[in-house]
Amino acid sequence: MLPRRHHELPPTAGLPLRFADLRPDAATLADDIARQLGTPPLQLECSGTASLLVTLTALRELQPRRRRVVVPAYTCPLVAIAVQQAGLELQLCDLRAGHYDMDPAALRAACDERTLAIIPTHLAGRVADVDDALAVANNVGAYVIEDAAQALGARRDGSSVGLAGDVGFFSMAAGKGLSIYEGGLLLARDPELRERLARTSARIVPRSFGWEAKRSIQLLGYAALYQPRGLRLAYGNPLRHALRRGDPVAAVGDDFPLTIPLHRVGHWRQAVGAHAASRLPAFLDRLSAQAQQHLPRLRRIEGITVLDDPIGAHGTWPFLLLLLPDQARRDAALAQLWQAGLGVSRLFIHALPDYAYLADVVPAQDVPNARDFAARSFSIGNSPWMTDVDIESICGVLEAVLR
Ligand SMILES: *Cc1c(COP(=O)(O)O)cnc(C)c1O
């Protein structure tokens, strides 16, 4: 039995805000992050999804005859919603067996002269195989958009993710590392494409006092509650309520609205993000060290796979993503751990074709590896509040389930 707790660990490690972060100041967020990452200038948008929507809109104008966007069949439902809102066609690509990357053969089968873009995805902070997507894209004349929503700070061969493809984007949503409650950063290597993305954004993204007021209040709530006591209220209680109702999609927040808001990000939220960003490199280093400490312990448990980066890549560690041998044992582990306040959760509940509410957005398709990944995977939050006792509790349950 696990101890009852008065606090709750988050499922992903967000950078906690401090009171002093809330002071108004210069809106240097995008410039500060670009300097930290060593990238060309970054373009600020109101969410990761909005960044993708701006990108798809711009690319569609460059290649009006190409309508298909190829995405991994196991990814954030918001990606599918953005493709639909851009007036484009979603084309799913199954995963490699037991891996987050798209399957190379399936990717080649999914792409042709109708393909506008391919979206390799740095899931869970792990660095994806962008080179394979680039090889296929070069062959058919498509663009590559790196979905780095979960991987701000991840590097490959010394440079930031998002720079190998034509465009990359990061998310600053609540819980995804650095957060201004909702925000996104767009990255493009080529100055001409960068200029075009800026023009598209200026054209289609309006100012909205209402949205900015709402996000500002949400950011204040996030700043106040993103700590173990507040998380019990803001995260743990709604989670347990949704699970009691038998609604895992709501429990992990996979139930997104089918329309993506587009609006400018105000100066105050940018200033808050800029203050917090000064602590981001040290925070990411700390999470990485903590993950490297826990990985060997978890890997000693026979039957567990912890997903890791390819050689030469250094991802970020907002949480650990793991696979168990089958769904029955994954579910048995979660029956004990999901509601225990230890930050154990699931990433996305389903492969994209299996969300009932996305029936009009996602084509029906057989994607066995993505379904298998959804059925066997779970996550362990790697927040700074997680202790050795917490990880031992989790390992104890996993050992019992796998015995
Ligand atoms: C969160 C997420 C997005 C969308 O980012 P938002 O900032 O929440 O709009 C896109 N792709 C992946 C893989 C994500 O996890």
Are both 132 and 238 inside the same structural domain? Answer: no
My answer on whether 43 and 165 are in the same domain is yes
Give yes or no for residue 55 CB within 6 A of ligand 1. no
Mutate to test the pocket of ligand 1, among 44, 85, 100, 176 (most ligand atoms within 8 A of CB): 176
Domain that holds residue 296: 228-254+278-402
**Ligand 1 neighbour 46 (Cβ under 6 A):** no
Widest distance between CA atoms in the chain: 59
Same domain, 236 and 132: no
**What gap in Å lies between CA 298 and CA 304, rounded to an integer?**
7
Q: Are residues 84 and 156 in the same domain?
A: yes
Identify whether 59 is part of a domain: yes
Q: Is residue 148 included in any domain, yes or no?
A: yes
Closest CA to ligand 1's atom 2: 149
The domain that holds 155 is classified in CATH as 3.40.640.10
* Residue 213 placed within a domain: no
Domain count of the fold of the chain: 2
Q: Per residue, what are the HEC states of the chain?
A: CCCCCCCCCCCCCCCCCCHHHHCCCCCCHHHHHHHHHCCCCCEEECCHHHHHHHHHHHHHHHCCCCCEEEEECCCCHHHHHHHHHCCCEEEEECECCCCCCECHHHHHHHCCCCEEEECCECHHHCCCCHHHHHHHHHHHCCEEEEECCCCCCCEECCEECCCCCCEEEEECCCCCCCCCCCCEEEEECCHHHHHHHHHHHHHHCCCCHHHHHHHHHHHHHHHHHCCHHHHHHHHHHHHHHHHHCCCHHHHCCCCCCCCCCCCCCCHHHHHHHHHHHCCHHHHHHHHHHHHHHHHHHHHCCCCCEECCCCCCEECCCCEEEEECCCHHHHHHHHHHHCCCCCCEECCCCCCHHHCHHHCCCCCCCCCHHHHHHHHHEEEEECCCCCCHHHHHHHHHHHHHHHC
How many C-beta atoms surround the C-beta of residue 149 within 10 A?
A: 28
* Protein residue whose Cα sits closest to atom 1 of ligand 1: 149
Task: Name the phi and psi angles at 80, rounded to 5.
Answer: -65, -40
Q: Read off the tokens for 218.
A: 């949400």
> How many other CB atoms are found less than 10 A from the CB of residue 368?
12
Q: Is 115 in the pocket of ligand 1 (CB under 6 A)?
A: no
In this structure, the answer to whether residues 234 and 330 fall within a common structural domain is yes
Q: Is residue 271 part of a domain?
A: no
Say if strands 68-72 and 89-93 run parallel, antiparallel, or are unpaired.
parallel
Q: Which two tokens stand for residue 320?
A: 């650990």
Cα–Cα dist 275/289, whole Å? 23
CA 270 to chain centre: 20
Pocket test for ligand 1, best of 45, 76, 119 (most atoms within 8 A of CB): 76
CATH number at residue 356: 3.90.1150.10
Residues 166 and 283 in one domain: no
- Closest ligand 1 atom to Cα of 50: 9
What does the pLDDT profile of the chain (403 residues) look like in tens digits? 445 567 899 999 999 999 999 999 999 999 999 999 999 999 999 999 999 999 999 999 999 999 999 999 999 999 999 999 999 999 999 999 999 999 999 999 999 999 999 999 999 999 999 999 999 999 999 999 999 999 999 999 999 999 999 999 999 999 899 999 999 999 999 999 999 999 999 999 999 999 999 999 999 999 999 999 999 999 999 999 999 999 999 999 999 999 999 999 999 999 999 999 999 999 999 999 999 999 999 999 999 999 999 999 999 999 999 999 999 999 999 999 999 999 999 999 999 999 999 999 999 999 999 999 999 999 999 999 999 999 999 999 999 999 9
Do 247 and 394 lie in a common domain? yes
User: Do residues 78 and 162 share a domain?
Assistant: yes
Structure tokens at 217: 């209040």
Angle at 152 (CA atoms; ends 49, 333), nearest 5 degrees: 85
Q: Single out the residue in 146, 171, 204 at which a domain terminates.
A: 204
The answer on 35 and 119 residing in a single domain is: yes
Ligand 1 near 75 CB (within 6 A): yes
Say how far apart CA 23 and CA 19 lie, in whole Å.
Answer: 8
Q: Is residue 4 part of a domain?
A: no
**227-260 b/e (C-beta count within 10 Å ≥ 16 → b):** bbebbbebbbeebbebbeeeebbbbbbbebeeeb
pLDDT of residue 175: 81
12 ligand 1 Cβ < 6 A: no
Amino acid (1-letter code) at residue 236: G
Q: Residue 265 domain-assigned?
A: no
Phi-psi region of 121 (alpha: psi -120 to 50; beta: other; left: phi over 0): beta
Whether 190 maps to a domain, the answer reads yes
Q: Which atom of ligand 1 is nearest to the CA of 49?
A: 9
Measured between alpha carbons, how far is 91 from 288 in angstroms, rounded to an integer? 34
CA distance 170 to 183: 8
Q: Are residues 193 and 239 in the same domain?
A: no
- Say yes or no: 300 and 167 in one domain: no
In a domain, 142, yes or no: yes
Residue in 171, 179, 255 to alter for ligand 1 test, most ligand atoms within 8 A of Cβ = 171
Based on the domain organization, do 327 and 396 belong to the same domain?
Answer: yes
